[in-house]
Structure 1
Amino acid sequence: MQTRTLGKGTATAPAPRVSALGLGCMGMSDFYGTRDDAESIATIRHALDRGLNLLDTADMYGPHTNEVLVGQAIRGRREQAFIATKFGILRDPADPTVRGISGRPEYVRAACDASLKRLGIDTIDLYYQHRVDPNVPIEDTVGAMAGLVAAGKVRYLGLSEASGATLERACKVHPIAALQSEFSLWTRDPQTNGMLDACRRHGVSLVAYSPLGRGFLTGAIRSPDDFAADDYRRTSPRFQGENFARNLRLVEQVRVLAADKGCSPAQLALAWVLAQGDDVLAIPGTRHRSRLDENLGALDVQLSAAELATIDAVFPPDVAAGTRYPGAGMQLVNA
């Protein structure tokens, strides 16, 4: 398994080495249709068998049930797993589609204790603020997170979808190991909005979620009818109407480029993300062992400078049609 350093570490907490490809566990419990807990647990354990140790979850996935699932999967194998989870997005129990945001220090502490209990572990390896709370200074939130490190409940801190300016402020309070953001061939925002530059100024790793374009870049999705009735992608602007048709043409370009390279479209897309720097990691999600093995095959795909230039010409920034999230969701990214 190829590994990469996460962040720059400190004198008391050296930077850890984690698998270059992690496993996004969200879809095992929520948002992508029917659950299969047995196969999901088998997939997580297969990932550990293959040397993949970076497992990504969050308290809002389920909500809450994904952390429980991950905890079940790593039972008896804790030392093999590097657990990343997140706090900060609140879902209404009566209507889980309703979202709230909290970065209040007292909430940070309570959320951490709840996640530890659900995961069945004593320490969270990487604890992210899932979205920046516009009503709470980042200094207050990260200060509370730093308190969790001092208490031994968390090892390293991260932010998700924070702007470069917010990251700068956070790093003055406590070292930030990772900044998570959507990053892929059709979402190149971190390269254009200053996020990746800020990460590199402060020795922060970029962890790319949805590096396969929410499954679209694999070529497996050919029609909106391929989504289950409760699949949240049905509400995503990129998967609707003319946007879907335009983006499908991009997927065809991925297929052609992958065929020329002798790999699958998913492997090409992941190899491109990993080629953006040794400080970039990716956490593609899957519920199936076969897909996990396919994704890990991306580690064997080496892209030359000429090949990267060809891919960049086909996928310039902002090439995708439609925004990443509906309306209000876009107000919470790069915050």
Structure 2
Amino acid sequence: MVSRSVKLGGTASDITVAPVAHGLMMMTWTPNPVSDEQAFESIKAGVDALPPGTKAFLNSGEFYAMDRGTGNLELLSRFFAKYPDYADKTFLSVKGGVPNLVPDGSMDSLRASVDNIQKVLGPNKKLDLFEPARIDRNTPVETIMNNLATLVKEGKFFHIGLSECNANTLRKANAVYPVTAAEIEVSPWSYDDNQKAVIEVARELNITVVAYSPLGRGYLTGQIKTARDLPENDVRIHLTRFKEENLKANWAIVEGLKAIAEKKGITAAQLCIAWVASLGPHMLPLPGSSKSSRTLENLKAGSIELTPEESKAIHEVITANPTIGDRYYGSDEKAFLWG
């Protein structure tokens, strides 16, 4: 089923992962968390579809729950306790280092975060990659990287990632210690100068770009036409692009992508994932999934090849329909973006 794979960057360059990562956030950071049985089947489906030697890239967070607690990690702890043989078949990335959702790159903060993550995960799975969820702008990135490198040398985890970093920060960080992955938002409605710069620097430095929200948080699938289509208390309700007027204004992007997908005989979601993957061999799309059927649909998209004509058509849709609304809450600084 999987005809393509991705070699990770930095210190993980000997590790091969599936062409599409698996985001676990919405299994628990939702008003209606899925059952363990459903979540476990979703994770297992992605792992079982891979050839020997290829790992499933799982993405979690220390704060992925409605109460900003460790619910997602607790779910993973239960999964690996039930299926311990899946530990070696998965590569686990976890974001942390944001006490009270404020970035803190100090040694004390990072150590406390990493220790907490591993404590909650339990004995069956070791943390593969840790990434500060946002860049602490009050601490030099060189200091942050030295702190993270110290924790790696202590055996706390194996590889370092960064999240929501800009291209200059990524270059500075990598000069201190090899960065394995840079996690940024990339999709047909989130592809601006910052994304392009990070993607280019990452390609140059052999760093994997873990591209989160490749489906525009579900919007680009065409399933969310109005705010009423979101569950009550859904976290997306607070985002600028999910305001009613912006959902309406951006609908032309969805229609354009849907037309290209239908012509190719794939879903709009698969088209978006395939397009993100087409931006370079170091690109790792990171859609979320809580259902095994969706996990497999997403994974299949990683092996879909776009023709030059299809890529051009997608580019024309993006160019003709500039996205209305910012990615989070009205300002990059408020959400600690592009640190």
- 1:290 alignment partner, SS class: helix
Instruction: Supply the distance in 2 between the matched residues of 1:78 and 1:291 (Cα, whole angstroms).
Output: 22
Which of 259, 264, 272 pairs up with 2:262?
259
Instruction: Supply the distance in 2 between the matched residues of 1:139 and 1:168 (Cα, whole angstroms).
Output: 11
> Partner residue of 1:72?
78
- 1:267 alignment partner, SS class: helix
* Residue 271 (structure 1) shift: 0.5
* Residue 305 (structure 1) shift: 1.2
Pair 1:328–1:299, CA change in 2 (3 A): closer
Asked whether 1:334 is paired with 2:335, we answer no
Moved over 6 A (4+): none
Instruction: Supply the distance in 2 between the matched residues of 1:307 and 1:82 (Cα, whole angstroms).
Output: 32
The amino acid across from 2:16 in the alignment is R
* Residue 60 (structure 1) shift: 1.4
Instruction: Supply the distance in 2 between the matched residues of 1:271 and 1:295 (Cα, whole angstroms).
Output: 9
Contact 1:186 1:317 in 2 (8 A): no
The amino acid across from 2:60 in the alignment is T
- 1:324 alignment partner, SS class: coil
Instruction: Supply the distance in 2 between the matched residues of 1:179 and 1:277 (Cα, whole angstroms).
Output: 14
Asked whether 1:248 is paired with 2:251, we answer yes
> Partner residue of 2:39?
40
The amino acid across from 1:110 in the alignment is A
Asked whether 1:205 is paired with 2:208, we answer yes
The amino acid across from 2:274 in the alignment is A
Paired residue total: 324
* Residue 191 (structure 1) shift: 5.9
> Partner residue of 2:324?
321
Give CA deviations for 1:155-201 in whole Å, capped at 9, x if unaligned: 11110011111112111211001100000111013665621222123
Instruction: Supply the distance in 2 between the matched residues of 1:115 and 1:260 (Cα, whole angstroms).
Output: 45
> Partner residue of 2:121?
119
* Residue 33 (structure 1) shift: 3.2
* Residue 49 (structure 1) shift: 1.6
Contact 2:19 2:303 in 1 (8 A): no
Give CA deviations for 1:243-265 in whole Å, capped at 9, x if unaligned: 11011221111211110111111
Pair 1:243–1:306, CA change in 2 (3 A): same
- 1:181 alignment partner, SS class: strand
* Residue 71 (structure 1) shift: 2.3
Please, what is the CA RMSD of the aligned residues? 1.8
> Aligned ranges for residues 264-283 of structure 1 at < 5 Å?
264-283=267-286
* Residue 329 (structure 1) shift: 5.1
* Residue 318 (structure 1) shift: 7.8
- 1:277 alignment partner, SS class: coil
Instruction: Supply the distance in 2 between the matched residues of 1:36 and 1:329 (Cα, whole angstroms).
Output: 31
Instruction: Supply the distance in 2 between the matched residues of 1:41 and 1:83 (Cα, whole angstroms).
Output: 15
| TM-score, with structure 1 as normaliser | 0.91
Pair 1:50–1:84, CA change in 2 (3 A): same
Pair 1:221–1:14, CA change in 2 (3 A): closer
Asked whether 1:81 is paired with 2:90, we answer yes
Gaps of 5+ in 1: 92-98
Gaps of 5+ in 2: none
| TM-score, with structure 2 as normaliser | 0.90
Contact 1:55 1:84 in 2 (8 A): yes
> Partner residue of 2:221?
218
Give CA deviations for 1:4-59 in whole Å, capped at 9, x if unaligned: 111143xxx653111110100011110x4311132112211222222261000010
- 2:31 alignment partner, SS class: coil
Pair 1:37–1:190, CA change in 2 (3 A): farther
> Partner residue of 1:49?
48
Contact 1:6 1:15 in 2 (8 A): yes
Which of 281, 293, 299 pairs up with 1:296?
299
Instruction: Supply the distance in 2 between the matched residues of 1:84 and 1:8 (Cα, whole angstroms).
Output: 14
* Residue 118 (structure 1) shift: 1.1
Instruction: Supply the distance in 2 between the matched residues of 1:190 and 1:318 (Cα, whole angstroms).
Output: 16
Give CA deviations for 1:138-162 in whole Å, capped at 9, x if unaligned: 1121111111211222111110011
> Partner residue of 2:28?
29
Pair 1:190–1:59, CA change in 2 (3 A): farther
The amino acid across from 1:17 in the alignment is T
* Residue 85 (structure 1) shift: 0.4
Give CA deviations for 1:33-92 in whole Å, capped at 9, x if unaligned: 31113211221122222226100001011121101112222331211111000112233x
Contact 1:6 1:16 in 2 (8 A): yes
Pair 1:90–1:316, CA change in 2 (3 A): farther
The amino acid across from 2:32 in the alignment is T
> Partner residue of 1:95?
none
Instruction: Supply the distance in 2 between the matched residues of 1:149 and 1:230 (Cα, whole angstroms).
Output: 38
